[in-house]
């Protein structure tokens, strides 16, 4: 299977979102093909490569919660407005993020991935930015459908 970060269209969508939304970080996570764990597969605006080593349990961390609920999530002032422990949010810690907005990516009607945008300062993402992230997520779903569902690229 081709690595997601090697797909030029993924880079184009994520880099475009980084610029349009005025964010400092954009990342994609997907549930593993085998087992319930969730890993970050792509990032732009990242400070380091720690995101590649982060794996969270289904239902844990931002990515795990979004995939388990199928609902978007916003954090405006990490670690002040989170549930659970600070260490349950490794992507926020690894990238020194203070705010983020993340939406699920659906494949075959099930949430299997996450698109996250983040800033390293407190921020509440307005409705227009939320729509931009959701639109980008829909583009990524179309682009990655065969990739995630086993077609490869």
Every domain of the chain and the residues it spans: 4-148
The pLDDT value recorded for residue 148 is 65
Predicted pLDDT of residue 124: 96
Residue 153's pLDDT band, with cuts at 50, 70 and 90, is very low
pLDDT of residue 2: 53
* Model confidence at 69: pLDDT above 90: yes
Please give the helix or strand (H or E) that residue 117 lies within, else none: strand 110-119
Contacts of residue 141, Cβ cutoff 8 Å, sequence gap at least 6 = 105, 106, 107
Could you tell me if 112 and 58 are in contact, meaning their C-beta atoms sit under 8 angstroms apart?
no
Mean pLDDT of the chain: 89
What top-level class would CATH report for the domain 4-148?
alpha beta
Percent of the chain with pLDDT over 70: 93
Coil/strand/helix, residue 33: coil
Q: How far apart are the first and last CA of the chain?
A: 7
What is the per-residue pLDDT for 149? 58
Q: Is the pLDDT of residue 47 over 90?
A: yes
- Whose tokens are 């829909």? That residue is 138
pLDDT given for residue 137 in this prediction: 96
């Amino acid at each position: 299977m081709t690595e997601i970060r090697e797909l030029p269209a993924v880079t184009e969508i994520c880099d475009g979102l980084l610029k349009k939304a005025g964010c400092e970080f954009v990342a994609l996570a997907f549930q593993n093909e085998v087992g319930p764990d969730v890993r970050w597969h792509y990032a732009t605006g990242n400070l380091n490569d720690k995101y590649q080593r982060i794996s969270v349990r289904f239902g844990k961390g931002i990515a795990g919660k979004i995939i388990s609920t199928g609902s978007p999530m916003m954090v405006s002032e990490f670690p002040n407005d989170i549930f659970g422990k600070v260490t349950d949010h490794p992507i926020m810690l690894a990238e020194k993020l203070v705010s983020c907005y993340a939406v699920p990516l659906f494949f075959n009607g099930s949430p299997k991935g996450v698109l996250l945008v983040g800033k390293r300062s407190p921020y509440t993402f307005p409705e227009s930015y939320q729509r931009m992230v959701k639109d980008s997520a829909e583009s990524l779903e179309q682009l990655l459908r065969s990739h995630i569902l086993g077609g490869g690229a």
